[in-house]
């Protein structure tokens, strides 16, 4: 006679095959991404009834929006899904002043509809710049009202005869967001010794670079480039 500690009228203890899947590990290949980047999410999922009992998994937002579907790696317990910046924006628009932290949820189900979930956080950033409508270097209060944001590496115009903002923007892997042919806009007088390298608008004039009186005493002309 087979031994069992279950009484004939005991219906409270579920059979082992009635258990939900278990997400052992849920991780991302990076902790943060910026425009143009991609990230891979990896989940290791087990099921007491075998891997064939798993119906699959989805990657969702904390509000239930679906980012993508996990694909099983061979016959292993590992499942993967990849996203890039644009896909993330398409599902849930990207808009922030400095950065945003998104919560991603892995959800797996078996054939009996039992499920397991796990969460992780991923930072979206633009190296300290704002983002609007999915674009770095743009600022706005909503994704239908984005304004070009000023960003530059503090360029001394007088020292560069062939200065153009396209070159400045390309140094930050960005494009010039406004035409600059035939002109240099945002001219400002600043100290030659620059440290911050970012222009800030003050009234109708531009002031730029932290003043360092211990450096070169000459005053030079600088241009503000608008990149995106």
Q: What angle do CA 100, 101, 105 make, to 5 degrees?
A: 140
Does the model's pTM come out above 0.85? no
SS3 212: coil
Joined together, the tokens standing for residue 104 give 């991603």
pLDDT number for residue 100: 96
End-to-end CA distance of the chain: 76
Mean pLDDT in each 10-residue stretch from start to end of the chain (228 residues)? 36 57 95 96 89 89 96 91 97 92 96 92 90 80 66 47 60 55 36 34 35 38 53
Residue 68 in domain: yes
Pairing label, strands 155-156, 32-33: unpaired
Residue 140 in domain: no
Same domain, 121 and 155: no
Same domain, 62 and 111: yes
Task: Report the C-alpha gap between 88 and 93 in whole angstroms.
Answer: 7
Q: What angle do CA 17, 21, 22 make, to 5 degrees?
A: 125
SS3 130: coil
Residue 3 in domain: no
Residue 215 in domain: yes
Q: For the chain, how big is the Rg over CA atoms in Å?
A: 27
Chosen domain end from 85, 108, 125? 125
Same domain, 33 and 67: yes
Residue 42 belongs to domain spanning: 19-125
Q: Tell me the β-bridge partners of 99.
A: 125
Same domain, 45 and 121: yes
For the chain, what is the total number of helices (H) and then of strands (E)? 2, 18
Q: What CATH number should be reported for the domain holding residue 75? A: 2.60.40.10
Q: Identify which of 28, 113, 112, 115 has the alpha carbon closest to the alpha carbon of residue 67.
A: 28
Residue 144 in domain: no
Same domain, 95 and 162: no
Torsion of CA 27, 33, 37, 43, to 10 degrees: 10
Instruction: Confirm if 33 and 14 have CB atoms less than 8 A apart.
Output: no
Residue 143 in domain: no
pLDDT number for residue 69: 96
Same domain, 99 and 169: no
Same domain, 28 and 103: yes
H helix intervals, 3-53: none
Same domain, 166 and 108: no
Q: Identify which of 173, 227, 164 has the alpha carbon closest to the alpha carbon of residue 198.
A: 227
Number of domains in the chain: 2
Residue 137 in domain: no
pLDDT number for residue 170: 67
Q: Identify which of 24, 104, 29 has the alpha carbon closest to the alpha carbon of residue 66.
A: 104
pLDDT number for residue 16: 52
């Amino acid at each position: 006679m087979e031994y069992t500690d279950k009484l004939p009228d005991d219906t409270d203890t579920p059979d082992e095959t009635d258990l939900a899947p278990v997400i052992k590990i849920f991780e991302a290949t990076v902790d943060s991404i910026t425009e143009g980047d991609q990230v891979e999410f990896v989940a290791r999922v087990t099921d007491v009834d075998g891997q064939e009992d798993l119906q699959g998994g989805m990657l969702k937002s904390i509000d239930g929006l679906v980012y993508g579907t996990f694909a099983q790696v061979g016959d292993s317990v590992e499942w993967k899904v990849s996203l890039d910046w644009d896909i993330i924006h398409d599902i849930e628009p990207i808009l922030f002043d400095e950065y945003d932290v998104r919560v991603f949820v892995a959800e797996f189900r078996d054939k009996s509809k039992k499920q397991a979930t796990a969460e992780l956080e991923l930072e979206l950033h633009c190296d300290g710049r704002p983002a609007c409508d999915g674009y770095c270097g743009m600022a706005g209060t909503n994704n239908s009202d984005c304004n070009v944001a000023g960003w530059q590496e503090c360029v001394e115009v007088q020292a560069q005869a062939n200065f153009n903002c396209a070159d400045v923007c390309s140094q930050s892997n960005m494009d010039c967001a406004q035409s600059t042919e035939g002109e240099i806009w945002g001219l400002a007088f600043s100290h030659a010794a620059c440290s911050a390298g970012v222009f800030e608008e003050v009234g109708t004039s531009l002031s730029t670079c932290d003043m360092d009186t211990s450096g070169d005493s000459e005053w030079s002309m600088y241009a503000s480039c608008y990149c995106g």
